[in-house]
Amino acid sequence: MHRMMFWAGIFVLALILNGCSSGNRGAWLKISGYTQGTTYNITYQDPDSTNYQDRLEELLREFDQSLSTYIPSSIISRMNQGMNDILADNYFRNCFSAAEEVYTITGGAFDITVAPIVNAWGFGFTEKARVDSALIDSLLQFVGMDKVSLEQDRLIKQQEGIMLDMNAIAQGYAVDVLAEFLNSEKIENYLIEIGGEVRTSGQNRFGLDWRIGIDKPIDGLQLPGVEMQAIVQISGKSLATSGNYRRFYEEDGIKYSHTIDPFTGYPVQHGLLSATVVASDCMRADAYATAFMVMGFKKARAFLEEHNNLDAYLIYNDEMGEYKVWYTAGMKKILSEDI
């Protein structure tokens, strides 16, 4: 996805330098570049010292041709334009299916059909509109994943005007796509990061689990790692963070966050500052982090207490405006004691 360049609250610690070797399993390589309006960093160990950058960037270009709303010729863009003869490919199909799953489990807190309202508020792929209650009310009729389906690879909409925006899940999925490629090449130890979304396998060059830093949610903070809240240590897991402290705007003294509540059509206004989720795949970690930002702290905590397949670290302001953190029991086990 091409979108504003910003980090989602994660800082990858101790990234490995190109060509560093460790033991007899081969050299460590690090490749990096730009994609989807942000940066990517990949560190891996390969017995043959093979540089996969060209192939990985080719995969990212293919991915964007399916799911980027910023490319007019992409599959999702043409579907949004109402072209009924466009067929979903594997990328679109997999992402749509996962989005539908998270939509159902979260009771609609995660919803990729919120695109028209996200666009109206100026956080999507069109120009910002002059927002008022009448406009929001008119756009809410197009929101709800129960109004769309995939039938024989065609997107079926209950009404014209429905549009999809998969940015809140697709960047995590892009990480998974690259991970699947490295897995196919028998790469055992790697870390993949795109715009702050992370997936890990094996261990780092020191034979330890990968260390990932979670930034403190400070308004306007753009550089990762300046002030960290916590460090987690993971292997074979993915991690994604969503927060409103980097992407927002102020107008007439009012702060508008980029997380849009699909039930009301307005930017969320609650005390949850950021949500970091650890899951087996990055696509779902990305989607659930967004869903929790829609829910707010109390509903997100209740959800996590009922779904122990997910771990999360929530940073929030309580009713008194005091800065607090809460995390699952599983997250507690992987938190590092040092920062």
The whole-number pLDDT of residue 163 equals 96
Res. 319 pLDDT band, cuts 50 70 90: confident
Segment 63-84, tens digit of pLDDT: 999 999 999 999 999 999 999 8
Residues in the chain: 339
Superfamily of domain 76-164: ApbE-like superfamily (1.10.3980.10)
Q: What are phi and psi of 274, to 5 degrees?
A: -160, 155
Res. 339 pLDDT band, cuts 50 70 90: low
pLDDT at 217 over 90: no
pLDDT at 8 over 70: no
* CB-facing half-sphere around the CA of 301: CA atoms within 13 A: 10
The whole-number pLDDT of residue 4 equals 35
The whole-number pLDDT of residue 253 equals 52
Looking at residue 307, the DSSP 8-state letter turns out to be -
Q: What are phi and psi of 120, to 5 degrees?
A: -60, -35
The whole-number pLDDT of residue 24 equals 57
Res. 114 pLDDT band, cuts 50 70 90: very high
Calculate mean pLDDT across residues 92-118: 97
Helix (H, G, I), strand (E, B) or coil at 50: coil
CA angle 234, 239, 240 (to 5 degrees): 160
Number of H-type helices and E-type strands within the chain: 9, 15
Q: Which of 35-39, 157-161, 273-277 has the lowest mean pLDDT?
A: 35-39
The whole-number pLDDT of residue 245 equals 59
The whole-number pLDDT of residue 10 equals 46
Calculate mean pLDDT across residues 310-318: 94
Looking at residue 121, the DSSP 8-state letter turns out to be T
Torsion of CA 272, 246, 81, 73, to 10 degrees: -140
Cβ pair 274, 9 in contact under 8 A:
yes
- What mean pLDDT value characterizes the chain? 87
Segment 117-173, tens digit of pLDDT: 998 988 877 777 788 899 999 999 999 999 999 999 999 999 999 999 999 999 999
Higher-confidence residue of 291 and 26: namely 291
pLDDT at 98 over 50: yes
The whole-number pLDDT of residue 258 equals 75
Spans of all domains in the chain: 76-164
The whole-number pLDDT of residue 3 equals 40
